[in-house]
Amino acid sequence: MKRIKVLHASIKAGGGHNALRDFIYNELEKQPDKFRNIKFDHTVDSIEAFDTALSKVAPALYELFFFFAPRTVSDVFFVATFNLFKQCYKAIKDNNPDIILSSHFLLTQHFSLAKRLLRSKTIVVDCMPDYGPPSALQNPTLPWFRAEYILTFEEWTKNSVIKDLKVPKEKVLLAGRNPSKVYEDTRIKYHNKQAAREQIKVIMDYFPFSKIDSSKTTVLVTAGATQSGKTEKLLRAIAAEQKTDINLVDKYQFFVITGRNMKYFEKLVGLSKKYRYWSNIFPFPWVDSDVYALIQYASDFPILGSIAPATLNELIESECGPFIIYRTRAGQEIPHRVFVEEKGLGKFIPDLKVLVKKLSNGISDDERERFLNKGKAFRNEQARLASGLSELVYNLYPQEGD
């Protein structure tokens, strides 16, 4: 049995790309007799900066490119991002991998050209982190820029790649993904959400967290790592409703992820001190992964201003749902929210007045039970597919006698 060398490549372009790369890396590390694994992090950070800026400043233009740009634009993107090429070329030359698993389509393009210029036999695989139909930009027209295989992580995505991107079905692979083990471990360890809330009070034994009430319905509020401040408009709508109906303060508490945005964290702490109708809103700064998993498990359901496959799987594992999505980033997150609704995992409610009314009425037991059943079915299927990931990758490499 040959031990094959696998280069796991990612780039700073949102947390989902690194999360997928790390998941695949960790899965293959479980079989050291089959794989020698190498991580590659491209150092260019302009992709994330451009992506974030365009989605904020001109979301309509972002969506126009994502949904309607012809495949030829992908070839133009290759030229525009040629600063990525040198490191990709060097990574192949220095490491001589048997397989490259790339979690971003632009990296895939540059690795694909580099291998051809080097006359390398390495097999390049484009790993798609998103759920739902991909953009035509992810499959360039020129064959020199294309990967040998595309690895998808959901059936709808796989079928869309075959149908919409015209990729031969034998070149499109399907696997599954699991959230980090810490989410399962947290759920098993604390067993119920009240115990998890009490543990948060033990870990964070200072104001405002000392005022957490383990008996209250707990709502997780997050808009992603880079856009945490986007939740303020939502929180002000909730606070205004609570000012009108102060009984809601005794019914709910809100765990708000502010992350590294300390200015926003301090602002919310100040409001919590000053007004009773803000007193049940608890901002959480950047915490380690164990505490973050605990916060998710301690929450009954989330209100999301951003949704990605990694978060989706974490929340399902944490039994935190059904999801209420009130906004998403332009582009790839739109198929994500459609996916959530199609799978029966939650609803998209962009009107804050309607959302606040939904909160006032509460999540019914039937809605909660439906989410748990749908979520369990989805996670079981993902776990089944993930269990075959290592074998799927290993079989891509030609064996002796093939």
For 168-217, the pLDDT digits (tens) are 999 999 999 999 999 999 999 999 999 999 999 999 999 999 999 999 99
The helix/strand count (H/E) of the chain reads as 18, 12
In this structure, the answer to whether residues 291 and 241 fall within a common structural domain is yes
In this structure, the answer to whether residues 161 and 207 fall within a common structural domain is no
Is 361 exposed, middle or buried (CB count within 10 Å of its CB: 0-12, 13-18, 19+)? Answer: exposed
In this structure, the answer to whether residues 105 and 157 fall within a common structural domain is yes
Distance of CA 110 to the CA centre of its chain: 24
In this structure, the answer to whether residues 124 and 239 fall within a common structural domain is no
Whether cis (ω within 30° of 0) applies to the bond prior to 208 is yes
Mean pLDDT of the chain: 93
CATH classification of the domain holding 102: 3.40.50.2300
CA–CA distance, 44 with 82 (Å, rounded to integer): 11
For 128-149, the pLDDT digits (tens) are 999 998 988 888 888 899 999 9
Residues with Cβ within 8 Å of residue 292, at least 6 apart in sequence: none
- For the chain, the domain total comes to 2
In this structure, the answer to whether residues 131 and 195 fall within a common structural domain is no
**pLDDT score, position 273:** 96
In this structure, the answer to whether residues 109 and 21 fall within a common structural domain is yes
Q: Which 8-state DSSP code applies to residue 142?
A: S
Q: 163 with 187: CB under 8 angstroms?
A: no
Picking from 150, 174, 198, the residue at the C-terminal end of a domain is 174
Q: For residue 393, is it within any domain?
A: no
- Alpha helices for 275-342 (secondary structure H): 289-298, 309-317, 333-342
**pLDDT score, position 94:** 98
In this structure, the answer to whether residues 193 and 159 fall within a common structural domain is no
Backbone angles phi, psi at 253, to 5 degrees: -140, 150
Picking from 143, 174, 205, the residue at the C-terminal end of a domain is 174
CA–CA distance, 385 with 134 (Å, rounded to integer): 20
In this structure, the answer to whether residues 185 and 161 fall within a common structural domain is no
**pLDDT score, position 70:** 78
In this structure, the answer to whether residues 296 and 250 fall within a common structural domain is yes
Q: For residue 109, is it within any domain?
A: yes
Q: For residue 256, is it within any domain?
A: yes
Q: 361 with 159: CB under 8 angstroms?
A: no
Q: Report the candidate in 215, 252, 212, 242 with the shortest Cα–Cα distance to residue 362.
A: 252
Q: For residue 395, is it within any domain?
A: no
Backbone angles phi, psi at 37, to 5 degrees: -100, 135
Is 85 exposed, middle or buried (CB count within 10 Å of its CB: 0-12, 13-18, 19+)? Answer: middle
Domain that holds residue 207: 181-382
Q: For residue 148, is it within any domain?
A: yes
Q: For residue 387, is it within any domain?
A: no
In this structure, the answer to whether residues 24 and 67 fall within a common structural domain is yes
In this structure, the answer to whether residues 26 and 82 fall within a common structural domain is yes
**pLDDT score, position 79:** 66
Tell me the pLDDT band of 90, cut-offs 50, 70 and 90: very high
Stretch among 49-58, 87-96, 152-161, 361-370 having the lowest mean pLDDT:
49-58
**pLDDT score, position 58:** 74
pTM of the shown model? 0.92
CATH classification of the domain holding 322: 3.40.50.2000
For 233-286, the pLDDT digits (tens) are 999 999 999 999 999 999 999 999 999 999 999 999 999 999 999 999 999 999
Q: For residue 391, is it within any domain?
A: no
Tell me the pLDDT band of 310, cut-offs 50, 70 and 90: very high
Q: What radius of gyration do the chain's Cα atoms show? A: 22
| Per-residue pLDDT at 77 exceeds 80 | no
Q: For residue 394, is it within any domain?
A: no
Q: Tokens 């597919």 belong to which residue? A: 385
In this structure, the answer to whether residues 154 and 8 fall within a common structural domain is yes
Residue type, 220: L
Beta bridge partners of 254: 219, 281
Picking from 124, 149, 174, the residue at the C-terminal end of a domain is 174
